[in-house]
């Protein structure tokens, strides 16, 4: 497992430089124009109106850029997104990525009855199951780490997060990027634990947003 993790990190490091160069030349204004076809699912300002589709507002540009390439190649399987990404070139992907990264993410709420369990898993993991704390990769406010392959989770739709954890658990989402890391983690989570942690990240956001 350690060797695989190191290999994944080295691979990501190798991909980071060309991705960074492409993103540096990206234009959010062009991205806004290209996003016209994305509005129906991801909302006018990158915050979805449907729990099954993710919020993109505030997500790391490098993560969006990378995932669009996985959709286009078919490595990340999704019939709708394959069709959307198939005709995109790298420049348009980069433009879309910086556009959505610059939008304001929405703030969600965690149901009180799921708060304690969700927080316990996110902040401390589940030692007896070998589940690491989510905070170690996604950060205390759920903001992830740019250029690492670890996305922002803060404010994400609960249903979408649950769906992705279930796909990781079943192995349907696997074989690229950091998916292998999540496969191992999600395989040890119960339905109730997935529900709790998904609801927790929905209401997780930076302290400065809490004061607004």
Is 192 exposed, middle or buried, given 0-12, 13-18 or 19+ CB atoms closer than 10 A? Answer: exposed
Which domains, from first to last, does the chain contain?
17-101 (1.10.760.10), 112-210 (1.10.760.10)
pLDDT interval class at 17 (50, 70, 90): low
pLDDT score at 75:
96
DSSP lists the bridge partners of residue 126 as 131
pLDDT interval class at 21 (50, 70, 90): confident
Q: Report how far residue 110's alpha carbon sits from residue 190's, in angstroms, rounded to the nearest whole number.
A: 19
Contact call for residues 131 and 189 (beta carbons, < 8 A): yes
Distance of CA 119 to the CA centre of its chain: 18
pLDDT at 13 over 50: no
Q: 157-177: per-residue pLDDT in tens?
A: 999 999 999 999 999 999 998
Q: Report how far residue 180's alpha carbon sits from residue 162's, in angstroms, rounded to the nearest whole number.
A: 17
Confirm whether pTM is higher than 0.95: no
């Amino acid at each position: 497992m350690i060797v695989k993790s190191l290999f994944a990190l080295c691979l990501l490091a190798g991909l980071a430089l060309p991705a960074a160069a492409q993103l540096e030349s990206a234009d959010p204004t062009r991205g806004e124009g290209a996003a016209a076809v994305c509005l129906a699912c991801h909302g006018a300002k990158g915050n979805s109106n449907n729990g099954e589709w993710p919020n993109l507002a505030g997500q790391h540009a490098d993560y969006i850029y990378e995932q669009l390439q996985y959709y286009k190649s078919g490595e990340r399987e999704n019939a709708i997104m394959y069709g959307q990404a198939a005709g995109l070139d790298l420049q348009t992907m980069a433009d879309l990525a910086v556009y959505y990264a610059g939008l304001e993410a929405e703030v969600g709420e965690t149901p009180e009855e799921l708060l304690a369990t969700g927080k316990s898993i996110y902040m401390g993991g589940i030692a007896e199951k070998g589940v690491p704390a989510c905070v170690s990769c996604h950060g205390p406010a759920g903001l992830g780490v740019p250029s690492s392959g670890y996305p922002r989770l803060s404010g994400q739709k609960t249903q979408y997060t649950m769906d992705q954890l279930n796909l990781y658990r079943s192995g349907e989402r696997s074989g690229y990027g950091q998916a292998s890391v999540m496969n191992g983690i999600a395989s040890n989570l119960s339905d109730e634990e997935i529900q709790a942690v998904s609801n927790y990240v929905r209401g997780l956001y930076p302290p400065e947003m809490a004061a607004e």
